[in-house]
Amino acid sequence: MVDKDLLSIQEARSLVRSAQKAQAEIRKLNQSQIDAVTEAIGKAAVQNAESLAKLAVEDTGFGRWEDKTQKNLLASEMLLDNIRGMKTVGILREDDVEGIWEIAKPAGVIAALIPSTNPTSTTIFKSIIAIKAGNGIVFAPHPSALNCIKATVDMIKRVLVEQGVPADLVSAMSVPTVQGTEELMKQSDLILATGGPGMVKAAYSSGKPALGVGAGNVPVYIERSADIADAVDKIMSSKTFDNGTVCASEQAILADRVITDQVKATLKAKGCLFLQGDDVIKVKAIMERPGGGMNPQIVGKDAQTVAAMAGITIPAGTRLMVYEEDGIGPEFPFSKEKLTALIGYYTVEDWRQACEYCHKLLINGGIGHTLSIHSNDRNVIREFAIEKPVSRMVVNTGSTQGAVGISTALAPSLTLGCGNEGGSSTSDNVGPEHLFNVRRVAFGKDQKAPAVAAATTTVSVNEVERITELVMKRLKEGAVI
């Protein structure tokens, strides 16, 4: 019998060693050469965006290939548009006035943990930002997404070979196990973890530097000054995107009492069904595992599929199932993260109560991540921005598209930091700038940096003789030199 765990551990060690050798080679490349590699990967990803998206759905059963195609484009085309021109290799800055020079130092080999909800797009994204910063990268795939992640890595390897770069710069474990992933994290120089709380906790407990991102439980507040029709349109577009698999998607709607009837009517007109009676009991019964935690069987499923699993009948065209939850906490499943076509609903008296409810919802599984608000009251927006324990607050846009940088000016990213409040080492949308260290050269304040040496040219004896002959010839011809 083959011991799968030992095989996985050995594979992790081998892949890291190979990546270390490849990374040592690309350290010889300059910025323009590194950029050429990332641009080539991005081009290939755009060309294969649709086929990889379809493979991801086939592998995992999560989401919609049309939306996964858009995520693949975000991870390649949009990302490169954003980081093009960013200095990440060699000398970043020479400030002779202040006497500070800055030099980029790559992290080395990155261990990248990939979730099943966004497998191909996250693989593309992490590969590009890792190489942009001069690193090698080894992926620990989620077992249910192994085929599509392997196909994505194979595509990237082909590009590397075409660019004259060692293919081992990017690789993925073919035998992913918990023990193998733990070994990968121990052997690497930096961990880039995207996934559930358990995965992120393991990354931070590995003893190696880690960038981990936590779960999202995004509240969306529709304040009385909002454009209700616009708010509902954007919430629907966001929450149904890829059947709700993005961690930044809305999980609970809060609306002021003075507008709640209008909000509900608009939601119903846009394809929402408010659950009642026995249907609520049946749906709640499939939302979580017996021991707690989200039921993976409902993740990334549309409303009709979830309804069938629950044994209820819903009208054709239903896009979301909504429930007016009674409270917030572990015993109230609609107050938790639901990466599917389910969303909670709360009526609040005013922005102050909304503030209180949002805080409780965030503590209930999404602290440090994202908050969404629809409002035209600058003072209310400011109050929420100051008080809420989140790393990003998106205003008057869909939370999914806004948080990842599609509909906002935030950096395009599929790794959203949650700050120290959420147990993360960064609150940023993670990019190449997080994957290298900066070495600083500091001159004494009473000193000046050495002047730039004058350019010199070395000329051979033969060349001197040739030039001399040419000058003498021109002089005999009467030229003035």
SS3 28: coil
Q: Are 99 and 148 in contact (CB under 8 A)?
A: no
The whole-angstrom separation of Cα 22 and Cα 40 is 18
Residue carrying the six token digits 């003789």? 465
Residue 402 CB contacts under 8 Å (≥ 6 apart), including other chains: 238, 248, 372, 392, 394, 408, 410
User: Helices 351-363 and 378-387, interaxial angle, to 10°?
Assistant: 30
Q: Dihedrals φ, ψ of 219, to 5°?
A: -85, 145
In the DSSP assignment, the letter for residue 298 is G
Residue carrying the six token digits 């010199």? 456
Pairing between strand 436-442 and 250-256?
unpaired
Which residues are catalytic, by number? 247
Q: Which two tokens stand for residue 210?
A: 């880690």
- What ranges make up the beta strands (E) of 157-262? 170-172, 190-194, 210-213, 218-222, 250-256
Residue 415 CB contacts under 8 Å (≥ 6 apart), including other chains: 122, 125, 126, 192, 194, 211, 213, 429, 430
Residue carrying the six token digits 């190979």? 18
Q: Are 212 and 391 in contact (CB under 8 A)?
A: no
Q: What is the DSSP code string of 128-163?
A: HHHHHTT-EEEEE--GGGHHHHHHHHHHHHHHHHHT
Q: Dihedrals φ, ψ of 372, to 5°?
A: -120, 140
Q: Are 79 and 412 in contact (CB under 8 A)?
A: yes
Q: Which two tokens stand for residue 357?
A: 């409810």
